[in-house]
């Protein structure tokens, strides 16, 4: 009886420790979010003149959602915009709208980021010669619905596509764009992650893991290149 009681007590303590650690991670994420989006903005601590970083901004996943919002924001600041996404017709509509509303130049590149073989050579070629000051790595994909890791039988390529789109894209776009930033000693890179990277995300295991890669990659890349470019987040 005493052994059983001791085991139960130990498990309770382990559970409390795990709960504390998860709570700490959530609070850490919340603080960073509040600081970056409210405190630092209000105090002017994170003010960066984006237009001085370079003439062009490159945005992946730019045809709608967050990517389109970034395109609008950066065009409003006077940057020319390279829009990269899968559907050319959607890209052209966004590009025409930006040119009309903000009198900026635009360039569209239609590629499928689940393809890791040839698209980056094409992207690199089309970006050659542009003074890129801002890179927004926004493109990403998730599950169509939450499910157990071993029960994904309807789509044999889902996990490969998740890794290609969420990890390869961030890594390779940084490899393409950052050399010019380092050479000019300025530039801003924004890699879009997810709350799933910060909290337990069962049923979205591979997606969450790819977004954890984005967080770790960005943090260490920022340290490596702190002396050479303005910001990596």
Per-residue pLDDT reduced to its tens digit, 185-204? 999 999 999 999 989 999 99
**Facing residues of 137 across strands?**
191
pLDDT of residue 28: 79
What mean pLDDT is predicted for residues 109-114? 96
Q: Which residues are catalytic?
A: 207
| 113 vs 141: CA distance, rounded Å | 10
Give the ranges where the chain is alpha helix by DSSP (H): 2-34, 40-43, 65-76, 88-102, 119-127, 158-163, 169-184, 205-224
* Percent of the chain topping pLDDT 70: 90
pLDDT of residue 230: 84
**How confident is the prediction for the chain on average, in pLDDT?**
89
Burial of residue 166 (CB within 10 Å: 0-12, 13-18, 19+) is: buried
- Residues 108 and 92 sit within 8 Å (Cβ to Cβ): yes
CB-side exposure of 211: number of CA atoms within 13 Å? Answer: 21
Tens of pLDDT, residue by residue over 61-86, are: 999 999 999 999 999 999 999 999 99
Q: Which two tokens stand for residue 183?
A: 């050479």
Tens of pLDDT, residue by residue over 118-161, are: 899 999 999 999 999 999 999 999 998 899 999 887 777 899 99
| 108 vs 128: CA distance, rounded Å | 14
Contacts with 82 (C-beta within 8 Å, 6 or more apart), sequence order: 56, 57, 58, 59, 106, 107, 108, 109, 127, 130, 132
| 129 vs 54: CA distance, rounded Å | 12
Give how far the C-alpha of residue 95 lies from the chain's centroid of Cα atoms, to the nearest Å: 21
| 228 vs 204: CA distance, rounded Å | 36
What mean pLDDT is predicted for residues 202-219? 95
- Residues 81 and 104 sit within 8 Å (Cβ to Cβ): yes
pTM of the model: 0.79
**Residue 40 above 60 pLDDT?**
no
- Residues 212 and 163 sit within 8 Å (Cβ to Cβ): no
| 85 vs 113: CA distance, rounded Å | 8
- Residues 109 and 101 sit within 8 Å (Cβ to Cβ): no
**Residue 171 above 80 pLDDT?**
yes
- Residues 130 and 105 sit within 8 Å (Cβ to Cβ): no
**Backbone torsions φ then ψ of 58, nearest 5 degrees:** -110, 130
């Amino acid at each position: 009886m005493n052994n059983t009681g001791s085991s139960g007590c130990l498990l309770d303590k382990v559970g409390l420790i795990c709960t504390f650690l998860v709570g700490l991670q959530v609070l850490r994420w919340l603080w960073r979010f509040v600081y970056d989006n409210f405190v630092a903005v209000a105090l002017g601590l994170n003010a960066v003149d984006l237009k001085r970083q370079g003439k062009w901004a490159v945005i992946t996943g730019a045809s709608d959602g967050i990517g389109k919002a970034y395109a609008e924001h950066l065009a409003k600041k006077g940057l020319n915009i390279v829009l990269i996404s899968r559907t050319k017709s959607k890209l052209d509509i966004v590009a025409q709208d930006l040119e009309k509303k903000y009198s900026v130049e635009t360039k569209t590149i239609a590629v499928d980021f689940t393809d890791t073989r040839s698209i980056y050579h094409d992207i690199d070629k089309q970006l050659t010669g542009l003074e890129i000051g801002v890179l927004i790595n926004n493109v990403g994909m998730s599950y169509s619905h939450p499910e157990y890791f071993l029960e994904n039988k309807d789509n044999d390529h889902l996990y490969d596509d998740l890794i290609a789109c969420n990890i390869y894209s961030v890594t390779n776009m940084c490899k393409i764009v950052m050399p010019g930033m380092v050479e000019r000693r300025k530039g801003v890179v924004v890699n879009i992650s997810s709350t799933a990277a910060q909290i337990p995300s069962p049923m979205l295991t591979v997606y969450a893991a790819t977004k954890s890669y984005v967080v770790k990659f960005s943090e260490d890349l920022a340290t490596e290149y702190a002396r050479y470019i303005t910001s990596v987040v």
